[in-house]
Structure 1
Amino acid sequence: MTYILTASPAVRAAAERLAVATATGEPVAPVRDLIGPDDVVSAYAVQSIGVQGRLVAGARVVGRKIGLTSPAVQRQLGVDQPDFGVLFDDMDVSETIPAQRPRLLQPKVEAELAFVLGADLDGEQLDAITVRGAIEYAVASLEIVDSRIADWDITFADTVADNASSGWFALGSRRLSLEEFEPREIAMSMAVDGEVVSTGTGSACLGDPLNALAWLARTARDFGNPLRAGEVVLSGALGPMAPLRPGARVRAEIFSSAETLGAVDFAWEQL
């Protein structure tokens, strides 16, 4: 992203507001009063400043996340497009001990299908068919979403500015080839402390998680920061998110017909 040097005072003020929330652990007021509720360019400019700050502090980009893939959520926020954020190495709960992960303020959890890329996605034609060939494997995943905005009082611009309301993520261990299943045909069940709290399907994610990946590939390319081999892409929620509390144990499973394709577990350890 290339907005850093030309960011307006309003964009910089919004980025600083979110940085304060991150540093103090206290949610802040929405930033839409500074950049407007639906100014896509300004919102991603704010996000870009936050991303640059993390990179300067030593974080490493390991992938991207796609949000707002559900038509119901899009209608709720009055938008007609998804958004995206950046995944950093310390967000991966399997790789980072709790004390070194980013602070969570008001987290929720949702189940997704994650893709790990085996090739760059920077070509001219990037649709569901072409991106399919760039996927090395898929895994079940959990995204622990979070918001630096108080009470999750967000519009499209607020969540984009806040790195698409990102927090942590967890990946399942079973690697799936797309020769084994069709992403749009999967079903998902997520339980918290043994109680099922969310169910969904692959078709709930822009009709097909591959459509979501294609959208991200085109958007990232157009932003001048294309998806690269080795990156993880969280393709969007397969069902409703659920509240998350310290000590909770979460398990999500994905199915094709009656066969379990993969599962992922996460426990929010209390420090």
Structure 2
Amino acid sequence: MSDQLWSAARVADVLLRAEDTATPQTSILAEWDGLDLGTAYAAQDIALRMRLARGERLTGVKLGVTSKAKQRQVGVDSPSTAWLTDRMILPIGEPVPREKMIHARAEPEIAFVMGRRLEGPGVSAATALAAVEHVVGAIEIIDSRFSGYQFSMMDAVADNNSSGRYVTGPVGRAPEDLDLALEACLLEVDGEVVDSATGAAVHGHPAEALAFAANTLAERGLAIEAGWVVLTGGMTDAVPVQPGARIAAHFTTLGTVTVAGG
């Protein structure tokens, strides 16, 4: 495709259509070197407006690439942010709709439910945590729209950080009752533990990830609103969701969250 045909709006339209039809898309950056990070975020915001126009409701924010290992893997030194809508909520007990996804993968996360508005700039981890109503365990089902799961950081941001579905656990705890850096998680697939991590894997501390999100959104004139869910990023590597598989995230104090492959 000619460079002249690309724009942030075109990127948004292409990727949202790929999501809606579960059709893989080749790397945008490989076709258009004008896809810088600013343009990628512009595409993400345009896609959000398209989602809202068709009836979706904004439910929160998600962070990506919050671990140092993942940042080294994709050649960046900071996380990225994206949007959550009610279409992405996976009710507890419902299987992952694999037929509506390209290559679903699951990762455990620590999630915040916001008690009040959090607006940057200048938000610290302590300030961010004071705005949290409660903390829950979560599993996010990510689903990149790019063929072979091959993409650049700019591709991923334009693709809403590979958003798919998310499920939050039934155990909510006040942030002051937790040591989030030490909150551990065992990731289990079909009864076998395949990975483990603590909250420190998430940008050093999940509250630091939350503060980063608030400060980054402020650069675009945006804030994190009361009632929103904030997914702070994968604690471990994501695992493929196979048909019929049972994936469980066992947290130290946040209980267990499970999903099953449909």
Q: Partner residue of 2:52?
A: 55
CA distance in 2, matches of 1:17, 1:144: 21
Question: C-alpha distance in 2, partners of 1:147/1:31?
Answer: 13
Deviation (angstroms), 1:86:
0.6
Contact kept, 8 Å, 2:6 with 2:32, in 1: the verdict is no
Decide whether aligned partners of structure 1 residues 99 and 176 sit closer, same or farther in structure 2, where only a CA change above 3 A counts.
closer
Structure 1 contact 37–155 (Cα < 8 Å) conserved: no
Q: Report how many aligned residue pairs link the two structures.
A: 258
The aligned counterpart of 2:103 is 106
Q: Could you tell me whether the CA contact under 8 Å between 1:146 and 1:165 is conserved in 2?
A: yes
Helix, strand or coil for the counterpart of 1:198?
strand
CA contact (8 A) 1:115 1:234 kept: yes
8 A contact 1:144–1:168 mirrored in 2: yes
Cα distance in structure 1, aligned partners of 2:102 and 2:184: 30
Conservation of the 8 A alpha-carbon contact between 2:56 and 2:87: yes
Residue of structure 1 equivalent to 2:233: 236
| CA displacement at 1:99 relative to structure 2 | 10
CA contact (8 A) 2:187 2:196 kept: yes
Q: For the residues of structure 2 that align with 1:157 and 1:53, how far apart are their CA atoms?
A: 20
2:154: which partner in 1?
A: 157
C-alpha distance 32-226 of structure 1, shift in aligned 2 (>3 A): same
TM-score by length of 2: 0.91
The residue that corresponds to 2:246 in the other structure is 249
Within the candidate set 4, 15, 18, 1:18 is matched to 15
Displacement after TM superposition at 1:16 (Å):
2.8
Q: Out of 131, 134, 139, which is 2:131 matched to?
A: 134
Pick from 113, 116, 125 the counterpart of residue 116 of structure 1: 113
Other structure's SS at 1:175 match: strand
Tell me the residue number matched to 1:3.
none
Q: CA deviation at 1:102?
A: 9.7
Greater RCO, CA 8 A, separation 6+: 2
Aligned partner of residue 20 in structure 1, secondary structure:
helix
Q: Deviations over 1:16-39 (max 9, x none)?
A: 321331232210101113553871
Q: TM-score, normalised by structure 1?
A: 0.89
Q: Percentage identity across aligned positions? A: 37
Equivalent pair of 2:121/2:214 in contact (CA under 8 Å) = no
**Cα separation, 2, equivalents of 1:61 and 1:201:** 29
What is the aligned counterpart of 2:255 among 235, 251, 262? 262
Which consecutive segments of 4 or more residues in structure 1 shift more than 4 A? 95-102
Work out whether residues 23 and 145 of structure 2, in 8 Å CA contact, stay in contact via their aligned partners in 1: yes
Gaps of 5+ in 2: none
Deviations along 1:240-267, one digit per CA (max 9) or x if unpaired, are: 1111123222110111xxxx43221122
Does residue 35 of structure 2 align to residue 42 of structure 1?
no
